[in-house]
Amino acid sequence: MKTLRAACEAGDFIVTVESPPPKGTDLDRFRERAGHLLGKVHAINVTDNQAAIMRASSLAVSKILLDMGHDPVYQITGRDRNRLAIQSDLLGAHILGIRNVLCLTGDYVTIGNQKETKPVFDLDSVQILKVIEGLNAGRDMVDNTLNGETDLFPGSVAMPETHPLEPLLVKFEKKVRVGARFFQTQAVFNPDRFQHFMQIARSFDVRIFAGILLLRSEKMARFVSNHIPGIHVPVRLIQKLEDAGPEGALEAGLDIAVETIDAIRGMCDGIHIMAIGAEDQIPVILERANLFPCPSGMVEG
Amino acid sequence: MAYTYPDCVHEHLCEETGGICPIVHCPKELVNGPCGGVIDGGKCEVIETFDCVWVNIYNKLKEAGELDKMRHIQEARNTNFYAELVNIKKDSAKKENAKKENG
């Protein structure tokens, strides 16, 4: 089975999906969902206390996926750990066999449900990428030589539909300059805005995977549009979900996801599916978008 | 709006940010540009009534024709604060001990 890095280097159209770790120690449901995706996706992202809500360690759960035969994308943020912890966790990730690392700043602690938490932010996403550049070259942050370097494949996130976009593009360019090789984007709902972003992103030698968010109701569409930065669900799509009613909303959401994939697949290098609690629908999206089985010719298991 | 930290922890940063201190104005104290929490129109996700300081810095540098400054990769911050705090505590413990010995 091709790794994410090998598939990127081969120029395959990439499919990654997001899978939050369990809230607790019971892995049954997590393993079951991940099992359905074997051979159907290039990699599975494991979120790191996403939205500042505590879940099992993204490092530990990435290792679980690796043992199942998946290629995990280990997400690491600067919110919960200082530079010592970040460097040591990255060494730990390599030792465990994890290669893909998605570097993020992290949602602020007050976004979550343990608002009294002390935010760390010792390093930002650019600086975490720079740490990986160093560790891959066998050096720590203060230029000490490592006894064995890492071989990590670093990536980060991009926000194609944020307005104003320009300040974020400056940061995007910085991330590329410190070694980001792939980008997974915030959910795309406006192919024209995404195209504008891609015209700029295309001048850099990086792989871009467009975020695809599965909407399951008109209420959810309004919520993400109003409360999640960088997401803009057009009125036309909200209306479509509303018209479908409670019974038909999931079906309408699947239609929207497939429609979006069809509109953007020619512009970018892959897609990154976020199903938020409906991970069992991911194979359905892939099948309807003719991304099942993966066009890269990956084999089951 | 444009003021620098009284006890600046990142001495030369404000020279590259149009005099606006991102450490004071960004909840995450980011030094390399905005996070993904920029709300439409350039507000901050954490404090929704605030402008994102990095959007303001971008606009100011662009107007001054100095956008290249924002492209510099800023190193991890030198947080000497904690080392200094340890030194202060060591000093005060030394003074306490000296007092006890003399008294």
Question: What ipTM was assigned to the predicted interfaces of this complex?
Answer: 0.92
Tell me the residue type at A175: K
Does A300 score more than 60 pLDDT? Answer: no
* Rounded-to-5 percentages of helix, strand, coil across chain B: 45, 5, 50
With beta carbons under 8 A apart, name residues in chain B contacting A107: 37
Residue B90 half-sphere exposure toward CB, CA atoms < 13 A: 6
pLDDT value, residue B88: 87
Nearest to A248 by CA among A216, A273, A295, A288: A216
Q: Burial-class residue B33 by CB neighbours within 10 Å (0-12, 13-18, 19+).
A: buried
Q: Is A159 on the interface with B (CB under 8 A)?
A: yes
Q: Is A83 on the interface with B (CB under 8 A)?
A: yes
The encoded tokens of residue A223 equal 């919520």
List, in order, residues 6 or more apart from B80 with CB less than 8 Å away: B9
pTM as predicted: 0.93
Number of domains, chain A: 1
pLDDT band at B11 (very low <50, low <70, confident <90, very high): low
Domain membership flag for residue A28: yes
pLDDT band at A1 (very low <50, low <70, confident <90, very high): low
Q: Is A167 on the interface with B (CB under 8 A)?
A: yes
* Contact predicate A17/A41, CB 8 Å: yes
* Contact predicate B51/B43, CB 8 Å: yes
Owning domain of residue A10: 4-288
Q: Tokens 């994102």 identify what position? A: B52
List, in order, residues 6 or more apart from B86 with CB less than 8 Å away: none
Q: Burial-class residue A107 by CB neighbours within 10 Å (0-12, 13-18, 19+).
A: buried
Domain membership flag for residue A297: no
pLDDT band at B6 (very low <50, low <70, confident <90, very high): very low
The encoded tokens of residue A173 equal 């360019």
Domain membership flag for residue A138: yes
Using left for φ > 0, alpha for ψ between -120 and 50, and beta otherwise, residue A286 falls in alpha
- Report the Cα B101 to chain-centroid distance in Å: 42
Render pLDDT for B30-48 as a digit per residue (tens, 0 to 9): 999 999 999 999 999 999 9
8 Å CB contact of B38 and A229: yes
Render pLDDT for A48-64 as a digit per residue (tens, 0 to 9): 999 999 999 999 999 99
Domain membership flag for residue A177: yes
With beta carbons under 8 A apart, name residues in chain A contacting B31: 124
Strands B38-39 and B43-44 come out as antiparallel
Domain membership flag for residue A293: no
Q: The domain spanning residue A275 has which CATH number?
A: 3.20.20.220
Nearest to A207 by CA among A186, A183, A188: A183
Instruction: Compute the distance between CA of residue A230 and CA of residue B60 in angstroms, rounded to an integer.
Output: 23
